[in-house]
């Protein structure tokens, strides 16, 4: 393995790749195998840092920084927030089968996918013409080239992406809203300190623990 690694690489590059690869794989296995979801999230951070190192190794400095900032700084923290908020950090019996033989089938399918992708990765893959985005090597920094490509060639997808983010924000707000707050205002009775009687007709339709919770809060205020 080391001979093949060193065929085209210098020793520091090979060592960096090997260390980062080990970090990535150990973190990924940790995500899958560890029982506590908080530990899974921390293992995911480990994998993401390893991938950021591999990005730097391959002349993607901007993406490495974004990887650390966005993924480990925002997404994993969001995961941890939800884990803590919901209190779902109970341990799960990883080896218990719901369907008989599900684990075995999953592992066999995974090995098939691995073999297939590795075979594809070691054969010839270059077909057709290059994209029009521009070369990776050449004068200028990585950020400048990436920015020029995004704001010229890929300007329309970039704008569509912003629309997607707005849709995601609106969707998150709609999902996080409590069912009783139909017009986005405060819960009934909260403003004037009044207790609003719950009509039995409304209670029969889709009202559940969340609404009762909210009514309790309104009473408490």
Partner 1 sequence: MSVNASWYLTLAALLFTIGAVGLLVRRNVLVMFMCIELMLNAANLTFVTFARALNDIGGQVAVFFVLVVAAAEVVVGLGIIVAIFRRKVGATADDAHVLKG
User: Based on CB atoms, which residue is closest to partner 1, 126 or 192?
Assistant: 126
Q: For the chain, how big is the Rg over CA atoms in Å?
A: 25
- 52, containing H or E segment: helix 37-57
- Does 157 participate in binding partner 1 (rule CB under 8 A)? yes
Two tokens, residue 94: 């990883």
Q: What is the DSSP letter of 131?
A: P
Alpha helices by DSSP H, listed for 122-181, are 142-152, 155-176
Footprint of partner 1 on 129-148 (CB under 8 A): 130-137, 142, 145-146
CB of 194 to partner 1, least distance (A): 25
Footprint of partner 1 on 168-197 (CB under 8 A): 168-169, 171-172, 175-176
Alpha helices by DSSP H, listed for 58-101, are 61-66, 76-86
Contact status, residue 157 vs residue 191, Cβ threshold 8 Å:
no
Footprint of partner 1 on 6-35 (CB under 8 A): 7-10, 13-14, 17, 21, 24-25, 28-29, 31-32
> Contacting partner 1 (CB under 8 A), which of 165, 181, 203, 219?
165
CB of 84 to partner 1, least distance (A): 11
- Does 68 participate in binding partner 1 (rule CB under 8 A)? no
């Amino acid at each position: 393995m080391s001979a093949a690694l060193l065929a085209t690489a210098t020793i520091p590059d090979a060592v960096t790749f090997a260390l980062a690869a080990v970090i990535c794989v150990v973190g990924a296995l940790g995500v899958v195998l560890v029982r506590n979801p908080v530990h899974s999230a921390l293992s995911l951070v480990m994998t993401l840092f390893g991938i950021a190192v591999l990005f730097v190794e391959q002349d993607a400095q901007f993406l490495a920084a974004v990887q650390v900032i966005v993924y480990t700084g925002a997404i994993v923290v969001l995961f941890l927030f939800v884990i803590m908020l919901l209190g779902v950090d109970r341990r799960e019996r990883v080896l218990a089968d719901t369907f008989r033989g599900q684990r075995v089938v999953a592992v066999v399918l995974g090995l098939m996918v691995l073999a297939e992708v590795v075979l594809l990765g070691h054969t010839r893959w270059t077909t057709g013409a290059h994209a029009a985005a521009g070369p990776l090597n050449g004068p200028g920094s990585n950020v400048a080239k990436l920015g020029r490509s995004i704001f010229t060639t890929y300007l329309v997808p970039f704008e569509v992406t912003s629309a997607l983010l707005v849709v995601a924000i609106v969707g998150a707000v709609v999902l996080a809203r409590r069912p009783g707050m139909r017009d986005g205002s405060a819960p009934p009775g909260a403003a004037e300190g009044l207790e609003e009687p719950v009509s039995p007709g409304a209670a029969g339709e889709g009202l559940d623990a969340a609404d009762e919770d909210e009514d309790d809060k309104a009473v408490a205020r």
